[in-house]
C-alpha cells in the first residue's frame, strides 16, 4: 500500500500559535488557499482513496482540495491527540511539557502513546482492506507520529523531540 500523508491546512488556532487537540476549529483564509494548493500537488498521483480525521479542519481541507473527486473515508481514529484540559493552550507551553505525556494522559485527555496506538489501529485496518491502493491521508501531528513509529520504527520520544517541519507531503510504503 502506498500512502501519502499531509497535515490539514492552517487553522485560526494555528495562526494564534495555540494547540487545538480535539477542539473543532476552522481553517483560516490562509488555510483555505493552502488546501487549493494540495489539489495541484496531487494532480498526477493517481489516488484511489482519501482518508481524513473527522475534525472540521481535516474534512474542510479535503473538501476544498478535492471536491468529491475521490472516495473519502472520514474516521475519528485519525484525530489529533486529545490534549484535554490543555486544548487551547499556547503551543510553546505544550512543547515544554509534552515529553511528560508520552505514557501519562493529559488531564482529561490522552497520552501520546494512546493517540498513536489509536491511529496505528486505523492504519492496520486500512492495509487489510486496501493493500494494493494509493491513499492520501489528511491528518494531524499525532497521525504523522504514528506513521513514523509504525513504518520508520522511531520511538515516540524521538518524534516529540524533533521540531515538526511542514513539508508538501510525506510518502510511505506500508
Burial 92-113 (b: 16+ CB within 10 A, else e): eebeeebeebbeebbeebbbbb
Complete DSSP assignment for 130-153: HTT-EEEEEE-HHHHHHHHHHTS-
CATH number where 101 lies: 3.40.50.1240
User: Is it the case that residue 174 has pLDDT exceeding 80?
Assistant: no
The question of whether 144 is a catalytic residue gets the answer no
Measure the CA–CA gap between 125 and 108, rounded to whole angstroms. 27
CA dihedral of residues 157, 86, 18, 29 (deg, nearest 10): 110
Asked if the model's pLDDT at residue 132 lies above 80, the reply is yes
Roughly what angle, to the nearest 10 degrees, separates helices 112-130 and 141-150?
Answer: 70
CA distance 96 to 91: 9
Is 80 part of the annotated catalytic residue set?
yes
Mean pLDDT estimate for the chain: 95
* C-alpha–C-alpha distance, residues 13 and 22, integer Å: 12
pLDDT digits (tens, 9 = 90+) for 61-111: 999 999 999 999 999 999 999 999 999 999 999 999 999 999 999 999 999
Pairing of strands 170-173, 2-7: antiparallel
The active-site residue out of 26, 60, 80, 103 is: 80
Q: Which residue has the cell 483564509?
A: 29
Domain that holds residue 93: 2-173
The pLDDT score that the predictor gives to residue 166 is 77
Cα distance between residue 94 and residue 1, in whole Å = 34
pLDDT score at 163: 82
**Counted domains in the chain:** 1
Instruction: Tell which residue, 107, 131, 127, 130, has the closest CA to residue 119.
Output: 127
**For the whole model, what pTM was predicted?**
0.94
**Residues of the chain above pLDDT 70, percent:** 100
The pLDDT score that the predictor gives to residue 167 is: 81
Q: Which of 8, 60, 140, 148 is catalytic?
A: 8
Residue (of 69, 64, 53, 54) closest to 27 by Cα position: 64
Amino acid at each position: 500500500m502506498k500512502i501519502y500523508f499531509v497535515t490539514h491546512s492552517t487553522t485560526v488556532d494555528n495562526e494564534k500559535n495555540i494547540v487545538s487537540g480535539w477542539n473543532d476549529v476552522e481553517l483560516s483564509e490562509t488555510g483555505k488557499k493552502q488546501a487549493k494548493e494540495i489539489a495541484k500537488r496531487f494532480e498526477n498521483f493517481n489516488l484511489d482513496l482519501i482518508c481524513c480525521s473527522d475534525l472540521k479542519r481535516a474534512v474542510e481541507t479535503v473538501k476544498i482540495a478535492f471536491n468529491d473527486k475521490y472516495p473519502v473515508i472520514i474516521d475519528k481514529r485519525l484525530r489529533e491527540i486529545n490534549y484535554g484540559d490543555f486544548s487551547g493552550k499556547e503551543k510553546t507551553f505544550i512543547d515544554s511539557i509534552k515529553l511528560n505525556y508520552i505514557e501519562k494522559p493529559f488531564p482529561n485527555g490522552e497520552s501520546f502513546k494512546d493517540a498513536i496506538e489509536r491511529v496505528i489501529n486505523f492504519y492496520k485496518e486500512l492495509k487489510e482492506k486496501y493493500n494494493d491502493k494509493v491513499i492520501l491521508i489528511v491528518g494531524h501531528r499525532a497521525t504523522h507520529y504514528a506513521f513514523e513509529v509504525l513504518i520508520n520504527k522511531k520511538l515516540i520520544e524521538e518524534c516529540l523531540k524533533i521540531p515538526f517541519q511542514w513539508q508538501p507531503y510525506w510518502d510511505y510504503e506500508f
